Structure 1
Amino acid sequence: MDAQDKKQLDSADKVAPATLQLGKYQSAINAKLQEFDARDFTKGFWQKEASLWVQDEAAQQSVRSFMGWLRVAETMVAAVPEIEQFAQEVNAAGFKHVVVMGMGGSTMAPIVFEKSFPQGEGGLPMSILDTTNPGTVREIEKSVPLTETLFIVASKSGTTAEPLAFGDYFYHRLQELKGDKAGENFVAITDPGSKFVTAATEQGYRRIFLNFAEVGGRFSALSYFGLVPAALYGINIRELLDRAVEMMRACGAYGPVNHNPGLELGVALGVLAQEGRDKLTLVVPQSLSDLGLWLEQLIAESTGKEGKGILPVAGEPLGAPAVYGQDRVFVYVGYQGKPDEANQQKLAALEQAGHPVITILMADPLDLGQEFFRWEVATAVASAVMQINPFDQPNVQAAKTATDSLMKVVEKEGKLPQTEEPKVTEDGVSYYTAVQANTAADLVRAFFAQAKPGDFLNIQAYLTESPELNEDLQRLRQQVVDQLHIATTSGYGPRFLHSTGQYHKGGPNTGLFVQFTVDHPQDIQLPGRSYSFGTFQNAQAAGDLQALHDYSRRTLRIHLGDNAEQGMRTVLASLQGAPLVGAQA
């Protein structure tokens, strides 16, 4: 055995252990693994053989052009001194806070880092802004010392509307406070050749980090997009990358391996999805609660297309076997030596009832470097099983196009068009849907009466996130799981447009979409533009709703008036009288 082979085997022993309890599906998964081994899949994978995924020549070129993530962890090891030096400079300059502003892959990893790690020694407190909701923008502005805050504007393309709007707003605020020195408080992370590079240079940004064009947003956690915020927060990014490289080795980056954790997980997920187990339900301890946001985007946007897909289900209350259909796979990600008895007992019962259960136990939060890479490989492998391109997002543009059309109306007429009358209005709450009923409660029940086994609920909250609203949305999810036995997902808009939005339009037509909107009595005008943050968010909600209609999805929009918490209580109260009953309950 040569030194390289020994490194490969050592790496397999160093990665976080995974246990796959797959029951009756094990034989089919073993058969697919044997098929992939016979085709020398792992070698082809690392050589970027696009025919593993798709046969169309143009699609193959697309695959090859976005596989830079495979070795980006190694590349970034050399960039660690540069990033750490920058973090030291920021501290020396007297900054007291960091705000990361972006959407989708530009912010998902920073969210996970900030929620999963304690703030490191010498690190700065960090906030993430990834919504056009004016209430959230105002909360960020009030919570930080503006002149002592470093704002990171993160946009791969440099044309994404939301981070550019965030940057314009806070740059204008800093100009009011610091004049022509406003740029000292700003950092850009973007791709080479982006128009944003020119704008950031002209505005005197403190630093511009150029990422890699061949690394897609949802595969960018281990690039500048994830690592610059992580270093500023005080995380040991060198160790994070070292552990990611260990997972690379275990997944065959340097030659044959006996145990390839990314391949095994990916084949399992792909085969299970083909067998109807396409709802990947993530279970985590509270300390990892936001890992689901990152996994949602990675898996949903990569696999949700051509009427296929794996739906990640994050944040759903874990229940007894009786409340679940036969479309679930349960994945627990937690820590070794840290018992999580409540979840473990429920998972044991689910496994006993025949549900596939996968368990991954990390040593500590730095193992997230490994897990980012394991799941990236697994997602790409699952896509190969399903024969789809994991690196495009063909249906995301639909909502953007509809939103752009609405914003042109706003610029011309000063307001959004009113295109639909509510079916019912009660207690200040208005309901918009295709089903018919005379009362709010009957209308909502009629909407959910369309639910069939294998369907899912998606809650789209275009609201200011708050603990009270989170609790109310969980109550709604719990009721749907308990009474209709279908999967439930929930996201704040427009965040989910850049993550699960692809699955909503491109995946199977099995979703029931409930959109919550609200008035914005305390709106924020965008500098140099004819519209406000509130109007922008309303246009995004309306644009996404139109895109869902264009793909024949079942939708219910509930407008909560000017008080989201009060309106939500009204909605939930209307559902207390009688249970929800699905089409085949």
Structure 2
Amino acid sequence: MSDASFAATYHLGQYQPAVEAEINSLNSQDFTNRFWHKDATLWTQNAEAQQSIRSFMGWLDSPEVLSKAVADIKHFVQEVKAAGFQHVVVMGMGGSTMAPIVFQRSFRQGQGDLPLSILDTTDPGTVAELEAELPLRHTLFIVASKSGTTAEPLAFGDYFYDKMKAIKSDKAGENFVAITDPGSKFVTQATQEGYRKIFLNFAEVGGRFSALTYFGLVPAALYGINIGALLHGAVEMMHACGSQGPVADNPGLKLGAAMGVLAKQGRDKLTLITPENLGSLGLWLEQLLAESTGKEGKGILPVAGEPLGRPDEYGADRVFVYVGYDEFKDQASLDKLTALEQAGHPVIIIRLSEPMDLGREFYRWEIGTAVAGIVLGINPFDQPNVQAAKTATDKLMKEVTEKGQLPSPGQPAASQDGISYYGDVTGQDAAGVLQAFFQQAQPGNFMTLQAYLHETDALNKDLAEFRQLVQDKLRIATTSGYGPRFLHSTGQYHKGGPNNGLFVQFTADHPQDLPLPGRTYTFGTFENAQAQGDLQALRDNGRRALHIHLGPQPEQALQTVLTALKAALAHLG
């Protein structure tokens, strides 16, 4: 089963007849015409849900609509360069920053183009590190928030606006750009503060479907990417997916039907393999798939960053998707994928010829995700459980404002070497608590590491080792993410998807904290409140969660946790 025009090959083995039957069934129901006419009955018979679906399908024609805005965006880029700007920082969360991260890490920067940084964490160490690297007077800050009410980008904007006021007084706004929806409160603030430019996006495009709108394209153009060519590829994929009428071989339908059918048959862990220079695609896909499908106890869990292993290291809950470049053969991975396919695991291989093909791939996956929602019988455009963590955090921040500090997390199940372990399990020491926690693992479960920490290479290495140890011993899927980034992506799946996760949350002290202008709390307190609120939301949804507070030196402490983990896993059968 292949898709020659857009370089995708499907090795589905025993699942192929079911996938083909699903495609034929949808086509017999006039799928293409109904889909492109935004017929919400494809997804649900509930009238209220149908209205919600129709109101969030503006992304369908965004490549064509935004093609008309390319000249204006390019003119803006020229204006910014002429004004002497030397650096761009995109500040947002979730859908506002995932595509810019992919662009920044996947494309080589050309001479004369502006370096691009992305800020999507409230961690004070990360904010301070970024600030120290920037030529502040010559930095353009993009505050990206669809709703205009998202707490994190507003906090980032206020922090750096305060810094810029100290440098440029009433001209501070010249260094700021807003990307938001029409009518959001943020438009008023940005206007009052004299922002250089306000890009009004489209209310009918949800954040995770916004890669090919102003949220993705403005940073891409500033970074030097040919956004006209990027959109051209997306328009070609639109046509291939039936935007001009029914087609014989629809790449988006094929991907979505495969993902949906495989998930319904228990293959709900979509394991993504990429070469290193496409690794950031996993961050974008995590949000798109997990937030779109993880609800009503159903969902597809994207698994990125796991080293590819032998067939006997995996359960029957996996589907493997390789996304790579034509000229990069990566034979070691392809050989392992062949072995996995021969062992009965479904394998999908997608090839790109160059980074510019990401435009078409973004679009293929958006269609595929929408189609998977049809197969699973869920609304892929809402995020009912994301609000839970926000509400819990807001309640905690109110308490901070009134009492000056966060409430106590309670008594730890164990404290050892300055590290505290909080959970519903008991043990004599750290290893005992970890053993009791992981004893709960069952086939088909997954573990996710939620790191509310300052990202460093050392921590990344240790988190990867933690995952590897658990995967090797328990044969379950593992994922990892930095908070609060994942709250706006996989956080929906964590609370609304199948209740088969083991959640390990890491927090730390903030000896180098930063105040937030106009607020009674700091970045560090905000981050800790988000962690506590997230933990509360997980527990309110009956999830198995272990909170490990690493203290003032998280890198050293995580090494100690790894030692305890090895002892714990050694005692499991």
Which residue matches 1:397? 387
The one of 508, 512, 517 equivalent to 1:522 is 512
Secondary structure at the aligned position of 1:535 is classed as helix
Give the counterpart letter for 2:553 in structure 1.
Answer: N
Give the counterpart letter for 2:74 in structure 1.
Answer: E
C-alpha distance in 2, partners of 1:450/1:557?
16
1:320 aligns with 2:320: no
Give the counterpart letter for 1:106 in structure 2.
Answer: S
The 5 A counterparts of 1:305-384 are: 305-384=295-374
8 Å contact from structure 2 (residues 180, 186) kept in 1 = yes
8 Å contact from structure 2 (residues 469, 566) kept in 1 = no
The one of 537, 548, 551 equivalent to 1:558 is 548
Which residue matches 1:468? 458
8 Å contact from structure 1 (residues 16, 363) kept in 2 = no
Residue-by-residue CA offset, 1:377-415 (whole Å, 9 max, x unaligned): 000000000111000000111000000000000000110
The one of 230, 246, 253 equivalent to 2:243 is 253
1:66 aligns with 2:56: yes
C-alpha distance in 1, partners of 2:212/2:350?
20
Please give the TM-score of this superposition, normalised by the length of structure 2. 0.99
C-alpha distance in 2, partners of 1:266/1:580?
40
Secondary structure at the aligned position of 2:168 is classed as helix
Secondary structure at the aligned position of 2:566 is classed as coil
1:150 aligns with 2:122: no
Secondary structure at the aligned position of 1:59 is classed as helix
Q: CA deviation at 1:348?
A: 1.1
1:510 aligns with 2:461: no
Q: Which moved more, 1:526-535 or 1:119-128?
A: 119-128
Moved over 4 A (4+): 12-15
The one of 242, 252, 265 equivalent to 1:262 is 252
Secondary structure at the aligned position of 1:100 is classed as strand
Q: CA deviation at 1:447?
A: 0.3
C-alpha distance in 2, partners of 1:421/1:578?
21
Query: Which segments of 5 or more consecutive residues in structure 1 lack a partner in the other structure?
Result: 1-11
1:239 aligns with 2:229: yes
Secondary structure at the aligned position of 1:227 is classed as helix
Which residue matches 2:476? 486
Which residue matches 1:5? none
C-alpha distance in 1, partners of 2:73/2:469?
47
Give the counterpart letter for 1:511 in structure 2.
Answer: G
C-alpha distance in 2, partners of 1:556/1:580?
19
Which residue matches 2:177? 187
C-alpha distance in 1, partners of 2:407/2:178?
35
Give the counterpart letter for 2:135 in structure 1.
Answer: P
Q: CA deviation at 1:30?
A: 1.1
Secondary structure at the aligned position of 1:575 is classed as helix
Q: CA deviation at 1:13?
A: 8.5
The 5 A counterparts of 1:160-171 are: 160-171=150-161
Secondary structure at the aligned position of 2:567 is classed as coil
C-alpha distance in 1, partners of 2:570/2:500?
18
Which residue matches 1:450? 440
Q: CA deviation at 1:16?
A: 2.9
Q: CA deviation at 1:579?
A: 2.9
8 Å contact from structure 2 (residues 86, 139) kept in 1 = yes
Secondary structure at the aligned position of 1:576 is classed as helix
Query: Which segments of 5 or more consecutive residues in structure 2 lack a partner in the other structure?
Result: none
C-alpha distance in 1, partners of 2:167/2:220?
28
Give the counterpart letter for 1:184 in structure 2.
Answer: E
C-alpha distance in 2, partners of 1:39/1:359?
28
C-alpha distance in 2, partners of 1:144/1:419?
36
Residue-by-residue CA offset, 1:474-525 (whole Å, 9 max, x unaligned): 0010111111000001000000000000000100000000000000011000
Residue-by-residue CA offset, 1:113-158 (whole Å, 9 max, x unaligned): 0000011343100000000000000011011100000000000000
Which residue matches 1:302? 292
Which residue matches 2:525? 535
The 5 A counterparts of 1:26-175 are: 26-175=16-165
8 Å contact from structure 1 (residues 300, 500) kept in 2 = yes
Q: CA deviation at 1:580?
A: 5.3
Q: 1:188 to 1:14 in 2, by over 3 A?
A: farther
Q: How many residues align?
A: 572
Which residue matches 1:7? none
Q: CA deviation at 1:337?
A: 2.0
C-alpha distance in 1, partners of 2:181/2:381?
17
C-alpha distance in 2, partners of 1:127/1:443?
39
8 Å contact from structure 1 (residues 15, 370) kept in 2 = no
Give the counterpart letter for 2:120 in structure 1.
Answer: D
C-alpha distance in 2, partners of 1:524/1:419?
22
Give the counterpart letter for 2:129 in structure 1.
Answer: E
Q: CA deviation at 1:317?
A: 1.5
C-alpha distance in 1, partners of 2:502/2:569?
17
Q: CA deviation at 1:462?
A: 0.1
CA root-mean-square deviation: 1.1
1:227 aligns with 2:225: no
Give the counterpart letter for 2:525 in structure 1.
Answer: T
C-alpha distance in 2, partners of 1:139/1:351?
44
Q: CA deviation at 1:578?
A: 5.4
Give the counterpart letter for 1:548 in structure 2.
Answer: L
Give the counterpart letter for 2:25 in structure 1.
Answer: E
C-alpha distance in 2, partners of 1:440/1:238?
55
Q: CA deviation at 1:346?
A: 1.2
C-alpha distance in 2, partners of 1:13/1:49?
26
- Identity level (%): 67
Q: CA deviation at 1:14?
A: 8.5
8 Å contact from structure 2 (residues 434, 568) kept in 1 = no
Q: 1:538 to 1:200 in 2, by over 3 A?
A: same
Residue-by-residue CA offset, 1:190-212 (whole Å, 9 max, x unaligned): 00001100000000000000000
Q: Which moved more, 1:33-42 or 1:283-292?
A: 33-42
The one of 419, 436, 446 equivalent to 1:429 is 419
Which residue matches 1:6? none
Q: 1:373 to 1:581 in 2, by over 3 A?
A: farther
Give the counterpart letter for 1:238 in structure 2.
Answer: G
Residue-by-residue CA offset, 1:175-233 (whole Å, 9 max, x unaligned): 01111111010000000001100000000000000000000000000000000000000
Secondary structure at the aligned position of 2:6 is classed as coil
Q: CA deviation at 1:330?
A: 0.3
Which residue matches 1:406? 396
Secondary structure at the aligned position of 1:577 is classed as helix
